[in-house]
Structure 1
């Protein structure tokens, strides 16, 4: 697919990234797959390369890896997904098919057709984050922490998230809102990782998400006020 690049941020995903790339090729044909690696110490880079992915290195955190993938892709659309097989290629094609008339498609656990086989605590956390952001920031998607997304590149290459970790997800939703972007959620199912250990640090990332929520609330209020003045 000429208008699409698939971006996989990775760190220590040997045993996961190779099978995922093969599964993506089965769904999308020889669509470019860009693996942005954060300094893996296992066989991730070799596995990704052998599977046909283009590997680049970024040691500045998840948010920087995601943004590098978006800016360097050079295609109209950029599909970003986790490389631990919690996001599946069969769901990725759903996001691609939902792109008509929108600027951002979010793979959501919280809408019809979506769900998660993770722990009850993680499901509770996702729902709680969604409720908090809906109340305080009013972002244009319910599953604010989902990293399974299809971006229209031109709307996001100038984004300056000011984030380091996974709080980049709601930050980019706020960017989309300020840009007047059209956002759609598509139900996807979140699976447990196949191999390796999770990089999620619940307390650290939870604090970062809450800080981002209040920062985005202020940012969106300023954006709304500026829009009224311009009008």
Structure 2
């Protein structure tokens, strides 16, 4: 439990047999996580044996794709806050301590892997991926008038329980672009979103998406397509009537104090192969 709120971690897995147990233990050692759920998405043989040696529980999601795995995870957990992270060694579970404080004011807290200070030697975040994520992020800023964005593919994030029903109802992507779709749905619904830099380490094993240049390019164009289609024909998302949003809107009425907009950490994917792409 963190700050009086229950907290779960959802770890989708396909090709992380050699790193998943260590990732689970690292989250467990934080001492604040109430539930660790592994969503086995037709994972490499032996993955379940690694999970069985930890405190995590496991569910099988037979439908292939990162989005399918995350949707299953969100449906399975029942905590106030849900952390989503990939167990491939690229993220440091200790960075969860960076994300959680922003949940006091935001519905969705995203990590960012594109800040050079936090990119470790050997991490798969070269100029192509950095500028690709930055370019899509800036397109979203321009088309949707959002605050600062720098990374649309980071899969380390924390989401409020209040957002889950709407995300499960409105999301359509079952593949690697689900992380972007989650961001877009939150922005369109005017949910409060913030982005925070996190450490990005070399991956243990090879990614089926960013490990292949052609697949990464294809995913990038798919993401741009999602952004443009939502700009032309946005989904009809219902806004949530929450006490926190009511307080924020009341504070911004004329004559009342208006809190300043955040600056460098301002409000504002997964390496699984898409369901309609080549097998991972």
TM class, shorter-chain normalised? 0.7 to 0.9
Q: Is the Cα contact below 8 Å between 1:34 and 1:69 reproduced in 2? A: yes
Correspondence for 1:227: none
Deviation at 1:114? 4.8
Q: Is the Cα contact below 8 Å between 1:62 and 1:165 reproduced in 2? A: yes
**Farther-moved stretch of structure 1 (184-193 vs 103-112):** 103-112
Q: Is the Cα contact below 8 Å between 2:79 and 2:161 reproduced in 1? A: yes
Unmatched segments (≥5 aa) in structure 1: 225-231
Q: Is the Cα contact below 8 Å between 2:184 and 2:227 reproduced in 1? A: no
Q: Is the Cα contact below 8 Å between 1:86 and 1:193 reproduced in 2? A: yes
Superposition pairs of residues 82-231 of structure 1, within 5 angstroms = 82-110=86-114, 114-115=118-119, 117=123, 118-138=125-145, 142=149, 143-159=151-167, 160-194=170-204, 196-200=205-209, 201-220=215-234
Q: What is the TM-score of this pair, normalised by structure 2?
A: 0.72
Report the Cα distance in structure 2 between the residues aligned to 1:76 and 1:107, rounded to whole angstroms.
19
Q: SS at 1:82's partner residue?
A: coil
Q: SS at 1:122's partner residue?
A: helix
1:133 and 1:177, CA in 2 relative to 1: closer, same or farther beyond 3 A? closer
1:208 and 1:28, CA in 2 relative to 1: closer, same or farther beyond 3 A? farther
**Farther-moved stretch of structure 1 (50-59 vs 203-212):** 203-212
Q: Is the Cα contact below 8 Å between 1:10 and 1:83 reproduced in 2? A: yes
The structure with the largest helix share of the pair is 1
CA distances 1:102-137 after superposition (whole Å, capped 9, x unpaired): 111111134696546432322222222222332334
Correspondence for 1:48: 51
Correspondence for 2:6: 3
Report the Cα distance in structure 2 between the residues aligned to 1:157 and 1:140, rounded to whole angstroms.
25
Correspondence for 2:253: none
Deviation at 1:42? 2.7
Correspondence for 2:25: 22
Report the Cα distance in structure 1 between the residues aligned to 2:57 and 2:237, rounded to whole angstroms.
38
Q: What is the TM-score of this pair, normalised by structure 1?
A: 0.86
**Aligned residue pairs, count:** 223
Correspondence for 1:12: 15
Q: SS at 1:105's partner residue?
A: strand
Report the Cα distance in structure 2 between the residues aligned to 1:55 and 1:104, rounded to whole angstroms.
24
Larger radius of gyration: 2
Residues 1:80 and 2:84 aligned together = yes
Deviation at 1:147? 1.2
1:139 and 1:208, CA in 2 relative to 1: closer, same or farther beyond 3 A? farther
Q: SS at 2:104's partner residue?
A: coil
Q: Is the Cα contact below 8 Å between 1:87 and 1:191 reproduced in 2? A: yes
Correspondence for 2:41: 38
